[in-house]
Amino acid sequence: MATVADLATAIKQAQNLVFLTGAGVSTHSGIPDYRSKTGLYADQADPEYLLSHENLEAHPADFYDFVMQRMYYPQANPNEIHQEIARLCNQKGQLITQNVDGLDIKAGNQHVIEFHGDLYDLYCQKCGQSVSYQEYAQDYHHQLDQGIIRPRIVLYNEPINTAKLTASVATVNQADLIMIVGTSFRVYPFAQLLQYRGAAVPVFVINQEQIAAPDSVQMIQGDALKIFQELTEALQSC
């Protein structure tokens, strides 16, 4: 089991730090994760269908109700994890995030790949016109032509944007240190990105639970916010 001091030393030595993050980064901003007892999928018989391309096409009202009631938190603000990741990325790194809440960019991170898209990037499927969140919050029908509005996020049974996938693979390939933070690392192809790292590149994991990753990763298990608070102090002192 690795220590925060070990991680701080590795960060100091790194020239090209890459973060791979998930929902556990945003829970301290009041946004639920997906699979915990109080998460987005709690009490849902088939949550992956609710967030699928098929449900959007066949039952747009059900899709809309699910995302509006469970996924949008427009008042949420970046927490200390977002802020420290932004600081490090702006110095010498890149973030690839599964999160669709936009908080990393809101934190000022200038080096972000939003692997699954952004909930607030909305458009009409009929005419292609961009739509504001305020309009979507009123109705999922586009006022201009009654087309169905949707967020530009990757739904189940939809492919990852090719450009983002290519950029993510290249980013991981160039890393000399990788940090996995706040993710179960079960969603593919995101979890496959790790296979593109260099053979000798160290990987640290910060998460509440053990994740499905190679034995060579160095785990720091616990609450990500507390660990990042310790990490920030360690980086300032070393």
Q: What is the pLDDT of residue 215?
A: 75
**What confidence tens digit (pLDDT) does each residue in 181-192 have?**
999 898 899 999
Residues 94 and 89: their CA atoms lie apart, in Å, by 5
Q: Which of 111, 116, 141, 142 is catalytic?
A: 116
Residue appearing with tokens 């739509």: 131
Low-confidence residues of the chain: pLDDT under 70: 35-45, 238
Q: What is the pLDDT of residue 213?
A: 74
Domain range summary for the chain, segments of one domain joined by +: 1-31+78-116+159-238
Question: What kind and span of H or E run contains 172?
Answer: helix 162-174
The neighbouring-strand residues paired with 96 are 20, 113
Say which CATH topology domain 1-31+78-116+159-238 has: Rossmann fold (3.40.50)
Q: What is the pLDDT of residue 5?
A: 96
Q: What is the pLDDT of residue 33?
A: 79
pTM: 0.94
Residue 5 in contact with residue 222, Cβ under 8 Å? no
Q: What is the pLDDT of residue 236?
A: 87
**CA triplet 95, 204, 197: central angle to 5 degrees?**
65
Is position 59 annotated as part of the catalytic site? no
Q: What is the pLDDT of residue 168?
A: 98
Helices vs strands, H then E, count in the chain: 9, 9
